[in-house]
Amino acid sequence: VNAVPPDPRRRNTRSYDAIMDATIGLLEEVGYQRLSVEAVAARAGVGKTTVYRWWPTKVRLAAEALAVRVEIGPVPSSGDLRSDVRALVEATVYAFTKSLLARALPDMATDLDDDEYARTRLVDWLGPARSGNVRLLFGAAGHSPSVGPIDAGLLLDLICGTVLYRHILGRAASDTMVEQLTALIVDGRPPRAASTGNRDGFGDIADLTAT
Amino acid sequence: VNAVPPDPRRRNTRSYDAIMDATIGLLEEVGYQRLSVEAVAARAGVGKTTVYRWWPTKVRLAAEALAVRVEIGPVPSSGDLRSDVRALVEATVYAFTKSLLARALPDMATDLDDDEYARTRLVDWLGPARSGNVRLLFGAAGHSPSVGPIDAGLLLDLICGTVLYRHILGRAASDTMVEQLTALIVDGRPPRAASTGNRDGFGDIADLTAT
Amino acid sequence: VNAVPPDPRRRNTRSYDAIMDATIGLLEEVGYQRLSVEAVAARAGVGKTTVYRWWPTKVRLAAEALAVRVEIGPVPSSGDLRSDVRALVEATVYAFTKSLLARALPDMATDLDDDEYARTRLVDWLGPARSGNVRLLFGAAGHSPSVGPIDAGLLLDLICGTVLYRHILGRAASDTMVEQLTALIVDGRPPRAASTGNRDGFGDIADLTAT
Amino acid sequence: VNAVPPDPRRRNTRSYDAIMDATIGLLEEVGYQRLSVEAVAARAGVGKTTVYRWWPTKVRLAAEALAVRVEIGPVPSSGDLRSDVRALVEATVYAFTKSLLARALPDMATDLDDDEYARTRLVDWLGPARSGNVRLLFGAAGHSPSVGPIDAGLLLDLICGTVLYRHILGRAASDTMVEQLTALIVDGRPPRAASTGNRDGFGDIADLTAT
DNA sequence: ACTTAACCGAGACGGTACGTCGAGTCTTTCT
DNA sequence: AGAAAGACTCGACGTACCGTCTCGGTTAAGT
């Protein structure tokens, strides 16, 4: 917690890059939880002081590294709404179950709680892709029978949230789920139950009748 | 990493209760991340060994404490579907933004990743409430124009996920959002945009036109 | 610190032997310092309680194990005083640098300090060998020009102490030293300096002139 | 077990002094056996890490503390050989039965076994006093009828060892013993038996006739 | 021969200390 | 003058044993 923040103009570019690279590398290898400032400094060939000078907390370091080193963008629009929405859902599944962000975000949650700045940094980074995707959903929903503008942002969060939540609880995303969400958004149609049950009652009508 | 797990019959009831109480207390006070086995043992008036004997990892300790000390249940059914679904969404908002679970779950995510057992413990605990709520949603969706059984489990995860995701990113849940999700589930109607914008484009059509 | 000492008649012979064997075995393998009651009990296939019941402290356990499991005796007398004394010194060197006693005794020193009973146990055990050796020295010294009885006990302790002390400080015992001590005792002749020096000035005249 | 030992020049003087003082203090109060690194760090107001950084084992910590905080020196020479030797023996009795070294050395023996460095540290520390005393004994023996240089180092170890050994076995040093050792060294005369026996046969002819 | 009290194995318990790791701060050295 | 290097205090980690304490289940002494 530096009372007097350092002068950004005097920042050493080489150190900055090395630290960002080291952070991304360690995030990939060990994840956010097991990421240590100590290891970042060591791998970057930099003193711990230098890291702490610019990033007072671990969460800010990780947030910035993700923002400057990981490319994310909106899914491209093909013109066909259903395909586009399906692609968006699939991209989300990837982003929240396989990508670097997927592994890092849940772990960062608590630290983000305490750090408004880092949260903003992340949200700003997600912004452009989000805007593009929101626009896509807006187009999709525009074709639905509903009248007036829709809250595409909520739809987007709905997709992300659903995928993330299932991931946390250990439920793998299935093709069925992708279709269900796509149909819900494009057609306003509630998800149909799969024809076969699975052992734990997640995503299946089976547990309704069984219980 | 006990090769031979100890015999549960020889467990000391007093210690067990004290440890569970201490864990819940500390989860409430400092959260999962800052929870330490050391502090749990100290508060419970118990040797660290005793904690480690029965719960080899922090995440199992927390998972069990939540399961045995925190009551959760399905929302009661009033007969009116819209009211019931709204109540369910509101309960979810509470559970994932204000309750003890809310504060703990995001932090536990990574550890849960590595610990199938703890994840199962949690899911089993959530099970009964989940079943009740799934049944409620099944009834709700049964009234929608769609034909055949619906995947109520997905709808439930959708609600939980959306609320949780917004919470992680620092978006407070609003009454508007509650209504939007209720309408989506009961009526199959996509969320309407709110009439006024907010500065970051979450939950508002504004950012679509502005960007 | 048993208020009511247990009834020796009911002692389980099998356990007793197993404990003694385990203690000796562990003394040989890891030494007194790293000997743990836990390990003794485990190796003996015996409850910790059983060990603590009969030997309230580690030092008593070790002292008894040495006494009942390690044979020591006086060196045999050949009739030739010089040979006998030399044999005694050599036996002492062995006892205090290579035998089990050698490894255990220095470590037990502190604990013996606090436990009069264990010390007595050890001394009683050493007694017979000691008596025989004292008698041998008495004969030896009787041939020296001094008149009257000599304090053979002191001579014996002198031999033991010198060897032990050098062992503690890491000085290996040499043949020269054996000869020197023999000559001192048999002839009352002070030790001659060796003709060559060694690097640390122990046992050599060199450091006198060099310093 | 530091692969790369830290740079001594960067050592914090205040911490160093505090640790040495704390170590000496605790050695005096509880002895080496019950000395814990934890307690040293706490008393010194220092992190445990700092202690472990510079002294990887307890025995090195104790060895250095003795070396830098406890003054030892050769006994002063008065010119009269018999007095000097008697003073030397008395000083040895003090050193090995009452001084801090006395209480610590036997306990340290095992650990010294495993740690060549610590042993060297101790021997180096004892060195100057040793040299002085060796020189004194050299003078003493020079007056004996023996021809040529004597091994004064052995004589010195003989004194130390005898006193230490009797101390370990719980035999208090007596004035008689001091005289006996003095006579042995100065006159080459074997120890005379005391006129009265004691109960355990140490230092007395009694056990010879009794056994 | 039959009680019955004590010993037995097993191992959980509250503790102390271990030696390690990393966080975040502070100091020294070098360029 | 500022960055690297890294020593510092602090706190938690997970482990090993300590010595005490229940547990049932033998086992052997003394009716």
> Is A149's pLDDT higher than 80?
no
Q: Flag if D152 and C208 touch (Cβ within 8 Å).
A: yes
A 69-108, residues with C-beta < 7 Å of strand F? none
pLDDT score for A145: 46
Find the residue in D nearest to C96 (Cα): D165
pLDDT score for C190: 72
Residue A35: CB less than 7 A from any atom in strand E? yes
Give the number of C-D residue pairs with CB atoms closer than 8 Å.
199
Which residue is the nearest neighbor of F14, CA to C1'? B52
pLDDT tens profile A37-53: 888 888 888 888 888 88
* Mean pLDDT along residues C25-52: 93
Distance measured from the CA of protein residue C53 to the C1' of nucleotide F19, in angstroms:
11
∠ Cα B121 B125 B129 (to 5°): 155
Chain E: positions less than 7 Å from a protein CB are: 6-29
* Mean pLDDT along residues B179-198: 70
Find the residue in C nearest to D33 (Cα): C110
Find the residue in A nearest to B207 (Cα): A131
Find the residue in D nearest to C163 (Cα): D161
Higher pLDDT, C199 or D137: D137
Interface B:A, ≥3 CB–CB pairs < 8 Å: yes
Partner-chain residue, chosen from A161, A168, A193, that has the shortest CB–CB distance to B149? A193
Q: How far apart are CA C173 and CA C202, in angstroms?
A: 11
pLDDT score for D199: 37
Q: Which of B194-198, C102-106, C154-158, D169-173 has the lowest mean pLDDT?
A: B194-198
Partner-chain residue, chosen from C31, C32, C131, that has the shortest CB–CB distance to D211? C131
Residue C116 pLDDT grade (very low, low, confident, very high; cuts 50, 70, 90): confident
If you average pLDDT over every residue of chain B, what do you get?
79
* Mean pLDDT along residues B11-26: 95
C 49-88, residues with C-beta < 7 Å of strand F? 49, 52, 56-58
Torsion of CA C155, C108, D56, D29, to 10 degrees: -100
* Mean pLDDT along residues C35-44: 94
Partner-chain residue, chosen from A141, A162, A200, that has the shortest CB–CB distance to B157? A162
- How far, CA to CA in Å, does C14 sit from each of A91, A149, C17, C46? 71, 88, 5, 10
Percent of chain D scored above 70 by pLDDT? Answer: 81
Residue of A107, A154, A155, A192 to mutate, testing the B interface (most B Cβ within 10 Å of its Cβ): A154
Which residue is the nearest neighbor of F1, CA to C1'? A10
D 51-110, residues with C-beta < 7 Å of strand E? 52, 56-58
* Mean pLDDT along residues C142-150: 51
Q: Flag if D170 and C203 touch (Cβ within 8 Å).
A: no
CA distance D63 to chain C (A): 12
Range with the largest mean pLDDT of B146-155, D54-63, D110-119:
D54-63
Residue D193 pLDDT grade (very low, low, confident, very high; cuts 50, 70, 90): low
Higher pLDDT, C55 or B76: C55
pLDDT tens profile B84-93: 888 888 888 8
> Is C2's pLDDT higher than 60?
no
> Is D24's pLDDT higher than 70?
yes
Residues of B in contact with A127 (CB under 8 A): 201
pLDDT tens profile A90-113: 888 888 888 888 778 777 877 787
Q: Flag if A131 and B205 touch (Cβ within 8 Å).
A: no
Q: Flag if B160 and A164 touch (Cβ within 8 Å).
A: no
Of all nucleotides, the one whose C1′ comes closest to residue D53's CA is: F7
> Is D23's pLDDT higher than 90?
yes
Find the residue in D nearest to C206 (Cα): D151
pLDDT score for C144: 47
**Structural contact between residues C91 and C84, judged by C-beta atoms closer than 8 angstroms:** no
> Is A87's pLDDT higher than 50?
yes
Residue D140 pLDDT grade (very low, low, confident, very high; cuts 50, 70, 90): low
Interface C:A, ≥3 CB–CB pairs < 8 Å: no
pLDDT tens profile B27-80: 999 989 889 999 999 999 999 999 999 999 999 999 999 989 888 777 787 777
Residue B192 pLDDT grade (very low, low, confident, very high; cuts 50, 70, 90): low
∠ Cα D135 D137 D142 (to 5°): 95
> Distance between the two ends of chain A, CA-based, in angstroms?
54
Higher pLDDT, C137 or A202: C137
Residue C135: CB less than 7 A from any atom in strand E? no
Q: Which residues contact A193 (CB under 8 A, 6 or more apart)?
A: A204, A205, B148, B149, B150, B151, B152
* Mean pLDDT along residues D20-41: 92
Residue B1 pLDDT grade (very low, low, confident, very high; cuts 50, 70, 90): very low
Distance measured from the CA of protein residue B110 to the C1' of nucleotide F15, in angstroms:
25
Residue D149 pLDDT grade (very low, low, confident, very high; cuts 50, 70, 90): low
Residue B81 pLDDT grade (very low, low, confident, very high; cuts 50, 70, 90): confident
pLDDT score for D189: 75
> Is D43's pLDDT higher than 90?
yes
B 43-72, residues with C-beta < 7 Å of strand F? 48-49, 52, 56-58
* Mean pLDDT along residues A172-195: 78
Q: Which two tokens stand for residue B94?
A: 């509470």
pLDDT score for D204: 39
Higher pLDDT, C106 or D2: C106
Residues of B in contact with A191 (CB under 8 A): 150-151, 154-155
* Mean pLDDT along residues A118-138: 73
Q: Flag if A158 and B160 touch (Cβ within 8 Å).
A: no
Q: How far apart are CA B78 and CA B86, in angstroms?
A: 11
If you average pLDDT over every residue of chain A, what do you get?
75
Distance measured from the CA of protein residue D9 to the C1' of nucleotide E28, in angstroms:
9
pLDDT score for A140: 52
CA distance D150 to chain C (A): 4
Residue D20: CB less than 7 A from any atom in strand F? no
Residue C43: CB less than 7 A from any atom in strand E? no
β-sheet bridge partners, residue A150: B192
Percent of chain C scored above 70 by pLDDT? Answer: 82
pLDDT score for C17: 94
Helix crossing, D175-187 with D152-168: angle to 10°?
Answer: 160
Residue A60: CB less than 7 A from any atom in strand E? no
Q: Flag if B151 and A207 touch (Cβ within 8 Å).
A: no
Q: Which two tokens stand for residue A177?
A: 């789920």
Q: Which two tokens stand for residue C150?
A: 């000599």
> Is A206's pLDDT higher than 60?
no
Higher pLDDT, A136 or D80: D80
pLDDT score for B145: 46
Q: Which residues contact D71 (CB under 8 A, 6 or more apart)?
A: none
- How far, CA to CA in Å, does A43 sit from each of A36, A47, A65, A66, D14? 11, 10, 15, 17, 32
pLDDT score for C26: 94
> Is A202's pLDDT higher than 70?
no
Partner-chain residue, chosen from D150, D190, D202, that has the shortest CB–CB distance to C190? D150
Helix (H, G, I), strand (E, B) or coil at D180: helix
* Mean pLDDT along residues D106-134: 79
Which residue is the nearest neighbor of F26, CA to C1'? C12
pLDDT score for B157: 87
pLDDT score for C27: 93
> Is C188's pLDDT higher than 80?
no
Distance measured from the CA of protein residue C169 to the C1' of nucleotide F16, in angstroms:
30
Chain F: positions less than 7 Å from a protein CB are: 2-23, 28-29
Residue A167: Cβ-neighbour burial (10 angstroms; 0-12, 13-18, 19+): buried
* Mean pLDDT along residues B155-180: 86
Distance measured from the CA of protein residue C40 to the C1' of nucleotide F18, in angstroms:
14
pLDDT tens profile D153-187: 788 888 889 998 888 887 888 888 898 888 888 77
Helix (H, G, I), strand (E, B) or coil at B174: coil
pLDDT score for B196: 43
Residue D41 pLDDT grade (very low, low, confident, very high; cuts 50, 70, 90): very high
Torsion of CA B52, B53, B59, B64, to 10 degrees: -130
Give the number of A-B residue pairs with CB atoms closer than 8 Å.
199
Q: Which residues contact A167 (CB under 8 A, 6 or more apart)?
A: A96, A97, A102, A173
